[in-house]
Structure 1
Amino acid sequence: MPSAAERTRTLVQSTCSAQLLVPGLDPARAGHPVPDSRTVGPEGDVFLEFPADSPAVRTATHAQGDELTAVLEITDVAPVSVPHRIRGRARVSGWLTSVPGIAEPGRMMLRLEFGEASVDDLWGAEGIEPEDFRDAAPDPLARHEAELLQHLASAHEEQLRTLCGLLGERTARTCAPDRPSAVPVALDRFGLRVRFVESRDACFDARFEFPEPVRDVTGLRRALHTLFEAAAS
């Protein structure tokens, strides 16, 4: 399974919605600043790009020389229609400073020096150490996950339903024809998670591991082909 650090790093560098919580900013007036881009530096610091006149930039600039704490909150929502769409949340907290000269004119880069982080997702809730976050890499399928899940959901639902037969006789009986729908809810280099849905209040997740971790979309196609073949046999 992907480690907590890898899952958090993937969320930080994904397109999931995120907001920066900065002490002193009035949410009623300015709202919570939403960075236009997010990247991670070699030391594990998170770089956030904002318009140069944004409240977050003004606060960080005026606080130069003082310790300004901030929290980056990320919410991960499944890119397919499924009950309970929020797949997880992550928080990265640390110290915020402005970094002039990196962004284009009219923009400013803020650096969130990593202090601590946590993730609460489909795998569970865990804390992340700075060294683990620094050394982790985002999942190689993250850039394509939304498109891949949407394609599987729209074009391969019947094949997804057959995966229920891999879960054992007791579970397979609950997956009789015309009962639950099968929605692919998450995908990473290690496997595919499918949500079998009878109703909004009656569903369960099943995780299908690939024979070996995949490195790219080509490897994913082979892994899915193997998985569907096993379910059909």
Structure 2
Amino acid sequence: MPSAAERTRTLVQSTCSAVLLVPGLVAAPDHRSVPDDRSVGPRGDLFLRFPADSPLVRALTQGRDDEPAAVLEITDVAPVSVPHRIRGRARVGGRLSCVPGQAGPGRTMLRLETAEAFVDDLWGAEEVTADAFRDAEPDPFVAHEAELLQHLHAAHAERMGSLSALLGERTTPGCAAHGPDAVPLALDRFGLRVRFVEGGRACFDARFEFPEPVREIGQLRRAVRTLFEAASC
């Protein structure tokens, strides 16, 4: 399974929604701000781009505390329609500062020096140290997971339903048309997580591991095809 640090790093470098919380900047009208974009530096620090005239940037540059404490909160929502759609949340906390001359015209780059992190997702809740976060790599499919799940859901719904045959006694045997709806919920280099929805309300998750970890699209296609072939036997 992916480590907690890898899962946190994946969420940070994904397109999930995120807000920066800076409760110490009392001069800011709203201390909740959404960065235009975010990235992770080689030392594990977060770089967050904001409009130069945003209340947060003005409060930071005019504040007495040069490096206030801040937390980036990330919410991960499944890219397909499914019950209980929030897949997880992550937090990265540390000290916040401005990085002059790095953001382009009309923008200001802020650096969040990572001190601690936390993830609470489909795998469970775990704390992540700054060193572990720095050394982790995001999942290789982080930029494509949403479109891959949407494609599986839209173009391969029947084959997704056939995966219930791999669950043994967990579901009632029968054809996919009369089985639970199978919605692809999450994908990483180790496997595919599916949420089975019974009767439109009750649901449960099943994790289907790939024969070996995959790192590129060709390997992923073969791994998913192997799952479908196993389900059809």
TM-score range with shorter-chain normalisation? over 0.9
Q: Does 1:173 align with 2:189?
A: no
Aligned to 1:144: 144
Structure 2 CA distance for partners of 1:175 and 1:80, relative to 1, 3 Å: farther
Q: Does 1:191 align with 2:191?
A: yes
Shift of 1:28: 9.9
Q: Does 1:61 align with 2:61?
A: yes
Unpaired segments ≥5 residues, structure 2: none
- 1:37-56 counterparts in 2 under 5 A? 37-56=37-56
Aligned to 1:35: 35
Shift of 1:157: 1.1
CA distance in 1, matches of 2:27, 2:195: 36
TM-score by length of 2: 0.94
Structure 2 CA distance for partners of 1:66 and 1:151, relative to 1, 3 Å: same
Shift of 1:199: 3.9
Which moved further from structure 2: 186-195 or 28-37? 28-37
Aligned to 2:102: 102
Q: Does 1:78 align with 2:56?
A: no
Aligned to 2:21: 21
Shift of 1:211: 0.7
RMSD (Å), alpha carbons: 1.9
Structure 2 CA distance for partners of 1:65 and 1:23, relative to 1, 3 Å: closer
Q: Does 1:219 align with 2:219?
A: yes
Unpaired segments ≥5 residues, structure 1: none
CA distance in 2, matches of 1:165, 1:200: 19
CA distance in 2, matches of 1:97, 1:26: 16
Percent of aligned pairs sharing the same letter: 68
Structure 2 CA distance for partners of 1:60 and 1:86, relative to 1, 3 Å: same
Structure 2 CA distance for partners of 1:226 and 1:31, relative to 1, 3 Å: same
Partner-residue secondary structure (3-state), 2:195: strand
Give yes or no for contact 2:31–2:56 (8 Å, CA) kept in 1: no
Shift of 1:105: 1.0
CA distance in 2, matches of 1:180, 1:191: 20
Q: Does 1:229 align with 2:233?
A: no
Shift of 1:32: 1.7
Q: What stretches of structure 1 move > 2 A for 4+ residues in a row?
A: 24-31, 62-67, 174-177
CA distance in 2, matches of 1:116, 1:199: 42
